[in-house]
Amino acid sequence: MSEQQSRRVIALVSGSHVINHAYLVILAPLVTVLATEFNVSVGAIGLAIGTQGAVVALLQIPFGELSDRRGRYFVLKICLIVGAIGATLTALAPTYWTLVAAQAVLGVGVAGHHPAHYPMLAAASTEDKRGRAYSYHALGGALGFGLPFGAVAVARILGYSWRVALLSVAIIGALYGIGCLLALRSADPRITGPAKDVDATTGSRMQDAIRSLKASVKSAPILGIAILSLVTSAAAWVIRTYAPILYEQTYGLSPEVVGLFMSAMFIVEAVLILFGGVVTDRFDPIGVMIGGYLGLTVLAVSLATGSVPLALLAIGLTFTGTITVSRPARSTLTDRLSARADLGKNFAVVSVGISAGGAIAPPVFGWLLDVIGVQLVFGLVAVLGGVCLGMTLWLDRMTPDRHPTGALQAE
């Protein structure tokens, strides 16, 4: 495989991550607007968002199995086509319950992207550059989080409705999906096809699938990474959803300033993802993860107590970045602990944790915010950071031989 093809695949997959993460948070900029539009509570809109998250979580493992057996391109095609349909239905939803149904459809589309993306990135990159490949992919995801916010802002400036804003996201996603799928049709089948160690034609495919899935779930390190992913995802969703309230109530910033601040946070997050990829390739993934989670814990405590002077509040721009800087390291660790035939399933198991965090955290911490207040909620984020640190140290003990040896020799 040529260097040019490798770069092309990584770029296309990272672009797909932009679109899928835009779909993931497509309702986030419009929670109060939609509550008014459909005459429901903010919690009801949270339920609609959670519906997408639940569907994504439930379908991770099935799509992981499908990715390993039918091929990465096959799952990516489902992901991009169904995702564009779900986004369009969301933009056109006439009632609250059709909005919920549209989010369920969108969840089906979003669910396939991690099980398809990660094995393609692994196949398209060499071991010494894999951390950077994962960081480019994570960069795409970080930029995708900002796309709906930007679309809504532009629509408001131009005087268009929220439906136009969401429809523009759907159109961008559909056009990119068409281009991406056409470009990948000629890619090396070792990248886009099924795992070569899996026999997709055997008559006992279902039994084999169940057996291999059980092996993935029973793997203590993989299961540990999945639980770690749930905790980090929960922390990230709390920050993205409720940090604006923290900055307004604790530091007295205006909503307009907070909006700009949050947009800048996404940019800083993207830069830190790239940095995480570089240091992951240079050093051991565990060390990068420890640094990121330690930063999360310290920053959450500092911001929650209001002890950060207003002049130094810019350090809050790194809040989500403390989590995302470790994402390439976590992905690299998962890669190194996986045989090639199990890569899709193992990333699917890990992605269940990511999706579950996104489904659980917004409603649970939203309720806690009403009960105990925003500062104590972010104190709990610091606790989550401490849990992440403890789990990373446990993984360090459980995986003494995590360097590129056996798993990669299976190629």
Write down how long the chain is: 411
For residue 378, with 0-12 CB atoms within 10 Å meaning exposed, 13-18 middle and 19 or more buried, which class applies? buried
Give CA–CA dist 139/133, Å, rounded: 10
Give CA–CA dist 286/301, Å, rounded: 23
- Domains 1-194 and 210-399 agree in fold: yes
Of 103, 134, 308, 327, the residue nearest 236 (C-alpha): 327
- Reported for 26-29, long-range contacts at CB under 8 A and 24+ positions apart, including other chains, are 26/87, 26/90, 26/106, 26/148, 26/166, 26/169, 27/90, 27/103, 27/148, 28/148, 28/149, 28/240, 28/241, 29/148, 29/149, 29/152, 29/153
Give CA–CA dist 18/143, Å, rounded: 6
CATH architecture of 1-194: Up-down Bundle (1.20)
Q: Which amino acid is at 354?
A: I
Q: Where are the domains of the chain?
A: 1-194, 210-399
Give CA–CA dist 171/207, Å, rounded: 40
Q: Which CATH superfamily is domain 210-399 in?
A: MFS general substrate transporter like domains (1.20.1250.20)
Contacts of 184 (CB under 8 A, 6+ apart): 9, 12, 73, 76, 192
Q: Which amino acid is at 213?
A: L
Residues 330-340 as b/e (b if ≥16 CB within 10 A, e otherwise) read: bbbbbbbbbbb
Q: What is the pLDDT along the chain (411 residues), one digit of tens a residue?
A: 677 788 888 899 999 999 999 999 898 778 778 888 999 887 788 788 888 988 988 887 788 888 888 888 999 999 999 999 999 999 999 999 999 999 999 999 999 888 888 888 888 877 777 777 877 887 888 888 878 878 888 888 888 999 999 999 999 999 999 999 999 888 878 887 887 655 544 444 445 555 555 555 556 778 888 899 899 999 998 888 788 778 878 888 876 677 677 778 878 888 888 788 788 878 788 888 999 999 999 999 999 998 888 778 888 888 888 888 888 788 788 877 776 566 666 777 787 788 788 888 877 887 787 788 889 999 999 999 999 999 999 888 876 665 554 333 222
Indicate the pTM of the whole model. Answer: 0.74
CB 313 within 8 A of CB 258: no
